[in-house]
Structure 1
């Protein structure tokens, strides 16, 4: 009985399977006939992507180069002891940071020894002057003696001539004539003696003059040595590295401190070689470009205009690029050694467009839209990078819409639904109130996603008199 029930169940399942197979066959046969009557499935719709686009707006723009440098003074004076001795007095302002004026006495050394040498030199000069005066008087007397001897010789010569005339007339004597000849000869000898005395007096006078000149030189040297015991400020400035105290003993050329002119400041900063080439003319000379120097603090910023002056003469070992120097126009608030941000205005670029940095790929290709809103690739030359924007030059016509931020999903031939169609990168500039500027600076400083160069670039732009409206809107949106 159990066997029979199992057999009937199997037959039932077999019949059910045959019925299902028959229904499937009938359904399959009906499907081709339906296709033959034109009932085909609808084709798949083309996928359209959406992306932000900007319009190319070619203008003449002036790029800005952001670098970092150090404030230094181009007028420094090392205060060194020119003489050895004990420090008797120091100026009240002779301390680190002390402000002194030109001509102020900074350090007074013990002048006793130098004073004694000077007094001795004064006495020597007085003696030399007296000797010179005596030699001048002796020369005058010797000259008078020579004139008297010459007059005496003339008289003796006349007497001899008279005696010779008498002899010629036969009324003279040989003895008298000989006596007259001897007298004339003695007079001539006296003239020679007086001439020798005059020459000796002239030599004495010359020696006295030389001695006086030497005495004056010694006196000038003694006065110079005495003046070296007093150290004065060469110009207005601040003192630094002060290392002496009153009563201390110093040696010759010992470093006492340093005098720095706080108004003659410049900034030194380093740029790459390619950046440096953009800052030179055809002859390789540095262009007189302007810059903005900013010192960042927690709640404020010290700023000054600057002018590019010169480039370093050599590249130091272990460094690259070029070292540039710019003169600060206003030194208020800056001190040598400050680490600052330098925003340099580069030469003007003609017919360039500003785009978001993500608008191009690594090969400098843009994705532009045609009249059917389909994408096609176009090449652009990247001229500058400024933070999150770039300056490009392309053969695309003015107003061509390009994808603002490339994506791996976008490529050539894809149809696009543009967002903010026709909008260009906002180039409008606006003025900021001090409160609004401070609030934007706080947003940038608190943004942890920004890198150091990007943060410095944004802070430098915020310190300009007029800032881009698009950047202000983006920062205010990020700040809530």
Structure 2
């Protein structure tokens, strides 16, 4: 009985399997056949817009005095006076007395030289009288050509030479006397002081170090390629402008960003062998605002701070104007100076261009692009010639 039940179940399962197979064959599942459609990638672009641009040049350097010298004495003696302004950081004007040396010894030298000059003048006057007398006597008694000694010509020349020598000695004595008063050779400021009141100094002793305050300079290194962008008084490769190039110096000073105007006055004319850079010199007048006087009508003074020597500054040099330049993002320029142009059929076409200037975030193109053309800027990591793209919004260069 049990065996019959098992056979019956197996028969039912077999019949069910056959019916299922027949159903699958008779009614196969419907497959939705769809074509694989590749969509063009979306990309961003900019349109070519030629424009007139000023090519400013950036650099940096440290402020230094136009003139800085060691103040050295030309005489010896005890210091009897030191000016109150002759201290580190003190300001002075041209001609101010900075240090005075005891002049007693040099006053004596002047007096002695004056006495010798007077003696030489007396001897010359006496010799001239004797020479005149000798000439008169020869005219009365002499015959033939006169002897120079008889006319006292050599003696007269000797007295004249003696007087000239004594006069030079007097001038030298007076010069040494003048050197006992050490005066400022220019408007300036004291960097360091090396002597004190009452100190004995020898000829050639260092009194201190001073620098001029009327003008400061900044040495600005730029590449030789950037020389084409600026006008400088001694750069012959392009026509000089009527006015020197303007430079704007900036630095964080007194707790905020400050700006000082200046001008480019010259270049050093030598290319550095290590860096390949050339140095141009910027000047700023009245860096300590000594010439800026209080406005009598408004009671206001200049708010521009002083420009101290030694300050490190950034510089923006005003460049020349150039026409028909195109600015594109730096990532839009590919190898071998090529850009990807999106043609009218929205396909990429590579084209070589002439790069005028490279900057950190943008490139300036001089030639190779036409107004209105679309340049690929974003959306593809590896663009391919002829690839179809879907341009979207125009990006900002």
TM-score range normalised by the length of the shorter chain? 0.7 to 0.9
| Residues 1:14 and 1:209: Cα distance change in structure 2 (over 3 Å) | farther
CA contact (8 A) 1:70 1:340 kept: yes
| Residues 1:123 and 1:49: Cα distance change in structure 2 (over 3 Å) | same
| Residues 1:305 and 1:136: Cα distance change in structure 2 (over 3 Å) | closer
Deviation at 1:219, TM superposition (A): 0.8
Answering whether residue 265 of structure 2 is matched by residue 301 of structure 1, we say no
The separation in 2 between residues aligned to 1:87 and 1:97, in whole angstroms, is 21
Matching residue of 1:275: 226
Matching residue of 2:276: 320
Matching residue of 1:8: 6
Structure-to-structure mapping, 1:427-438, within 5 angstroms: none
TM-score when normalising by structure 1: 0.66
2:339 maps to which of 363, 366, 384 = 366
Matching residue of 2:352: 379
Q: Which blocks of at least 5 consecutive residues in structure 2 are unaligned?
A: 290-305
TM-score when normalising by structure 2: 0.78
Secondary structure, aligned partner of 1:27: helix
| Residues 1:355 and 1:308: Cα distance change in structure 2 (over 3 Å) | farther
Deviation at 1:283, TM superposition (A): 5.3
CA contact (8 A) 1:302 1:334 kept: no
Structure-to-structure mapping, 1:446-457, within 5 angstroms: none
Matching residue of 1:251: 202
Deviation at 1:374, TM superposition (A): 4.1
The separation in 2 between residues aligned to 1:40 and 1:399, in whole angstroms, is 46
Deviation at 1:91, TM superposition (A): 1.4
Q: Counting strand residues as a fraction of each chain, which structure ranks higher?
A: 2
1:236 maps to which of 187, 196, 207 = 187
Answering whether residue 392 of structure 2 is matched by residue 397 of structure 1, we say no
| Residues 1:14 and 1:365: Cα distance change in structure 2 (over 3 Å) | farther
Deviation at 1:308, TM superposition (A): 4.9
Secondary structure, aligned partner of 1:384: strand
Matching residue of 2:390: 416
Structure-to-structure mapping, 1:124-273, within 5 angstroms: 124-143=116-135, 145-146=137-138, 150=140, 191=142, 199=150, 201-273=152-224
| Residues 1:41 and 1:218: Cα distance change in structure 2 (over 3 Å) | same
CA contact (8 A) 2:56 2:317 kept: yes
Q: Counting helix residues as a fraction of each chain, which structure ranks higher?
A: 1
Deviation at 1:342, TM superposition (A): 1.7
Matching residue of 2:297: none
Deviation at 1:100, TM superposition (A): 1.1
Deviation at 1:108, TM superposition (A): 0.9
RMSD of aligned Cα (Å): 3.6
Matching residue of 1:75: 67
The separation in 1 between residues aligned to 2:330 and 2:158, in whole angstroms, is 88
Deviation at 1:49, TM superposition (A): 3.6
| Residues 1:29 and 1:334: Cα distance change in structure 2 (over 3 Å) | farther
Moved more, 127-136 or 354-363: 354-363
CA contact (8 A) 1:307 1:328 kept: no
The separation in 2 between residues aligned to 1:392 and 1:42, in whole angstroms, is 47
The separation in 2 between residues aligned to 1:285 and 1:363, in whole angstroms, is 29
CA contact (8 A) 1:296 1:302 kept: no
Answering whether residue 340 of structure 2 is matched by residue 342 of structure 1, we say no
Matching residue of 2:51: 59
1:292 maps to which of 248, 269, 277 = 248
CA contact (8 A) 2:55 2:229 kept: no
The separation in 2 between residues aligned to 1:106 and 1:87, in whole angstroms, is 11
- Work out which of the two has the higher radius of gyration on C-alpha atoms and give 1 or 2: 1
**Number of corresponding residues:** 371
The separation in 2 between residues aligned to 1:365 and 1:24, in whole angstroms, is 65
The separation in 1 between residues aligned to 2:38 and 2:339, in whole angstroms, is 23
| Residues 1:396 and 1:225: Cα distance change in structure 2 (over 3 Å) | closer
The separation in 2 between residues aligned to 1:42 and 1:289, in whole angstroms, is 69
Secondary structure, aligned partner of 2:365: strand
CA contact (8 A) 2:339 2:376 kept: yes
Deviation at 1:319, TM superposition (A): 4.3
In the TM superposition, what whole-angstrom CA distance separates every residue of 1:184-229 from its partner, at most 9, and x where no partner exists?
xxxx6xx57xx77983644433322222111111111111122222
In the TM superposition, what whole-angstrom CA distance separates every residue of 1:64-110 from its partner, at most 9, and x where no partner exists?
22111222233333311122222211111111221111111111112
Q: Which blocks of at least 5 consecutive residues in structure 1 are unaligned?
A: 151-187, 426-480
